[in-house]
């Protein structure tokens, strides 16, 4: 009997070590990270390192490979500069030839005279590694080849302490939220790196707070549209769709999105609006029923529950309903007479298409009006052929007062009919065309997808490319950006970010359990810069002095460098670091 008890104890210990769970006695976790898919030949030899943990400040624009000794210059001090109510970032790096049973960090208050930024405003995360690949031609089916797979640091994991294996490197990421009411000044404190509760080293952390204020994310003007996939959440957490547990898991995930300034709610009004392109396909949030007497009935209970939930989280500017022009033009409904689900195929501008959609548009308009949502709702379409869009647009105009949102190539005729137009990064219309649309109350944004090698938001993309996108938006006078997938997770995203069709990470920004990523935080950083540029430029334009005019010229000169060709030459990081200098100006 004692043998069985001992065996059970050993199994329990091994289970904890191989999983990402908290150890109740030591508050230590370990990641069940994948092994490096390829043999790694370090430039430096781990065996030549001194014993114990080595630590230094790194860069938030770097991904530190787990298998390599980092190049940091043993930097012990770091200074971040930001506005009041802004989030700034820092990353330290720890590496060790020996295993570290419990690596942790402790952050002190940051002080400037009698003024304080509390330690609670500074959140540390261990950076977790996942498998990624390469661009590999972008769009199109792929096999998971060993020779193109590699590890990349991306997922941000919040934990009290981490078991660090021998001969490894680990990034520790910091989100530093500058309080809105803190006085301007230079605030300094320390980050203590600990191993098994004993101090390894103190690193100095300073935040230079400028006398400028960034609004709350809910009041940012940037039109951020990252598509949500609630169906992926239900699968990953193994809960019933639309149950209380489902909403419980979704709340922190989409609250994180709201805190990045998200404006649009993604709603699916038909089954599989994009075919089966994601691991978890989208169901219809509206039940379409053909009654026995030939009339239509529509059940909006799931749709209403979803929209209300997202609005309560703070995402309430726009509801994008996908779609009236799906891939393959296949439509589903429940046939009351046949007592079964059925489907048919019909192109826009056909009689069968109007038979299905005209009653819905009229009934949907009435329902939205009753809910008070009509003015903010759009029928959304995604890169559909012009002739199909024309048929859908005509029917929408005849039977509803709904707006239209679409990712499409710009054309004068099409532009007139689309409220929220999103164009590919390399096909941005002229500033005059964008301004004409803005004067009519229309929005113009850009998108990147699997066809764009850079800038992009793949797991292997340089982090600064996410920041670059915010600057590009402002430089081209755009209202914001769209990315097709906030959380359309692959089978096991915390292990392998690759998918069967697109480059690694293309289908999601963040991870199950409401875990952020380096990529997502960098996009958020770019949005903050966009907002700061707007505020600073408007203030400078009101200043009638030579210094202000000179700085406006500097801003304009910096913005001229943000184009798709320039990033190929210089890379995002060089452009972004140079550009950020103009934001340090104080009136």
Q: How is 390-441 classified by DSSP, letter by letter? A: HHHHHHHHHH---EEEEE----HHHHHH-SEEEEEGGGPPPHHHHHHHHHTT
pLDDT score recorded for residue 244: 98
**Planar angle of CA 316, 279, 265, nearest 5 degrees:** 5
pLDDT score recorded for residue 31: 86
pLDDT score recorded for residue 23: 42
Cα dist. 366→45, 284, 301, 541 in Å? 70, 19, 15, 45
Please choose, from the candidates 473, 517, 491, the residue with its C-alpha nearest in 3D space to the C-alpha of residue 499: 491
The domains found in the chain, sorted by start residue, are 33-212 (2.60.40.10), 221-229+255-278+304-327+368-584 (3.20.20)
Query: Which residue do the tokens 């090698």 mark?
Result: 453
> pTM for the whole thing?
0.94
Contact of 518 with 127, CB cutoff 8 Å:
yes
Contact of 415 with 443, CB cutoff 8 Å:
no
Per-residue pLDDT of the chain (587 residues; tens, 9 = 90+): 333 334 343 333 333 333 344 443 457 988 889 998 887 766 678 888 888 899 999 999 999 999 999 999 889 999 999 999 999 999 999 999 999 999 999 999 999 999 999 999 999 999 999 999 999 999 999 888 888 999 999 999 999 999 999 999 999 999 999 999 999 999 999 999 999 999 999 999 999 999 999 999 999 999 999 999 999 999 999 999 999 999 999 999 999 999 999 999 999 999 999 988 899 999 999 999 999 999 999 999 999 999 999 999 999 999 999 999 998 999 999 999 999 999 999 999 999 999 999 999 999 999 999 999 999 999 999 888 889 999 999 999 999 999 999 998 888 888 899 999 999 999 999 999 999 999 999 999 999 999 999 999 999 999 999 999 999 999 999 999 999 999 999 999 999 999 999 999 999 999 999 999 999 999 999 999 999 999 999 999 999 899 999 999 999 999 999 998 888 888 999 999 999 999 999 88
Contact of 193 with 201, CB cutoff 8 Å:
yes
Give the separation between CA 321 and CA 282, rounded to whole angstroms: 12
pLDDT score recorded for residue 14: 37
pLDDT score recorded for residue 278: 94
Give the separation between CA 129 and CA 36, rounded to whole angstroms: 9
Give the separation between CA 91 and CA 108, rounded to whole angstroms: 16
pLDDT score recorded for residue 12: 37
Give the separation between CA 3 and CA 1, rounded to whole angstroms: 5
pLDDT score recorded for residue 411: 85
Helix boundaries (H) for 240-330: 244-258, 301-312
Please choose, from the candidates 233, 228, 229, 224, the residue with its C-alpha nearest in 3D space to the C-alpha of residue 260: 224
pLDDT score recorded for residue 469: 98
pLDDT score recorded for residue 586: 85
Contact of 509 with 447, CB cutoff 8 Å:
no
CA dihedral 346, 351, 357, 358 (to 10 degrees): 170
Give the separation between CA 37 and CA 152, rounded to whole angstroms: 11
pLDDT score recorded for residue 25: 42
The secondary structure of residue 336, as a DSSP letter, is: T
């Amino acid at each position: 009997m004692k043998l069985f008890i001992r065996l059970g104890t050993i199994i329990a210990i091994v289970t904890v070590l191989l999983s990402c769970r908290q150890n109740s006695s030591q508050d230590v976790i370990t990641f069940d990270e994948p092994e490096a898919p390829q043999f790694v030949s370090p430039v430096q030899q781990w065996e030549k390192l001194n014993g114990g943990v080595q630590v230094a400040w790194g860069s938030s624009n770097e991904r530190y490979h787990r298998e390599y000794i980092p190049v940091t210059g043993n930097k012990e001090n770091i200074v971040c500069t930001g506005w009041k109510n802004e989030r700034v970032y820092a990353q330290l790096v720890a590496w060790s030839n020996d295993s570290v049973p419990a690596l942790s960090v402790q952050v002190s208050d940051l002080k400037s005279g009698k003024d304080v930024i509390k330690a609670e405003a500074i959140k540390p995360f261990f950076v977790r590694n996942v498998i990624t690949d390469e661009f590999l031609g972008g769009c199109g089916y792929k096999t998971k080849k060993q020779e193109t797979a590699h590890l990349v640091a991306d997922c941000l994991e919040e934990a009290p302490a981490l078991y660090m294996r021998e001969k490894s490197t680990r990034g520790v990421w910091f989100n530093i939220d500058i309080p809105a009411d803190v006085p301007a000044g230079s605030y300094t404190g320390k980050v203590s790196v600990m191993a098994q509760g004993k101090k390894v080293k103190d690193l100095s952390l300073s935040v230079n707070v400028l006398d400028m204020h960034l609004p709350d994310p809910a009041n940012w003007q940037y039109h951020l549209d990252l598509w949500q996939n609630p169906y992926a959440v239900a699968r990953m957490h193994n809960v019933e769709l639309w149950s209380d547990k489902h909403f419980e898991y979704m709340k922190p995930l989409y609250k994180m999105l709201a805190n990045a300034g998200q404006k649009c709610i993604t709603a699916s009004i038909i089954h599989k609006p994009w075919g089966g392109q994601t691991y978890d396909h989208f169901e219809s949030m509206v039940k379409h029923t053909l009654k026995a007497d030939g009339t239509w009935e529509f059940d909006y209970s799931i749709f209403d529950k979803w929209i209300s939930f997202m609005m309560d989280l703070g995402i309430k500017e726009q509801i994008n309903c996908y779609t009236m022009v799906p891939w393959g033009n296949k439509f589903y409904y429940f046939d009351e007479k046949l007592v079964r689900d059925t489907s048919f195929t019909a192109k826009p501008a056909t009689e069968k298409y109007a038979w299905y959609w005209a009653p819905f548009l009229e009934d949907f308009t009435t329902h939205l009006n009753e809910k008070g949502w009509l003015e903010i709702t759009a029928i959304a379409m995604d890169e559909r052929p012009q002739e199909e869009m024309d048929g859908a647009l005509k029917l929408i105009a005849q039977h509803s007062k709904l707006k239209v949102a679409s990712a499409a190539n710009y054309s004068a005729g099409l532009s007139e009919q689309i409220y929220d137009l999103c164009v590919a990064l390399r096909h941005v219309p002229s500033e005059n065309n964008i301004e004409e649309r803005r004067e009519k109350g229309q929005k113009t944004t850009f998108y990147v997808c699997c066809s764009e090698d850079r800038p992009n938001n793949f797991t292997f993309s340089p982090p600064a490319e996410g920041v670059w996108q915010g600057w590009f938006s402002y430089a081209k006078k755009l209202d914001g950006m769209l990315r097709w997938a906030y959380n359309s997770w692959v089978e096991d995203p915390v292990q392998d970010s690759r998918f069967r069709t697109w480059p690694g990470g293309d289908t999601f920004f963040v991870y199950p359990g409401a875990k952020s990523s380096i990529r997502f935080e960098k996009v958020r950083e770019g949005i903050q810069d966009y907002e700061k540029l707007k505020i600073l430029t408007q203030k400078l334009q009101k200043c009638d002095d030579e210094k202000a005019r000179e700085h406006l010229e500097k801003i304009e000169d910096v913005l001229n460098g943000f184009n798709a060709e320039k990033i190929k030459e210089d890379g995002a990081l060089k452009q972004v670091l140079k550009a950020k200098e103009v934001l340090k100006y104080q009136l």
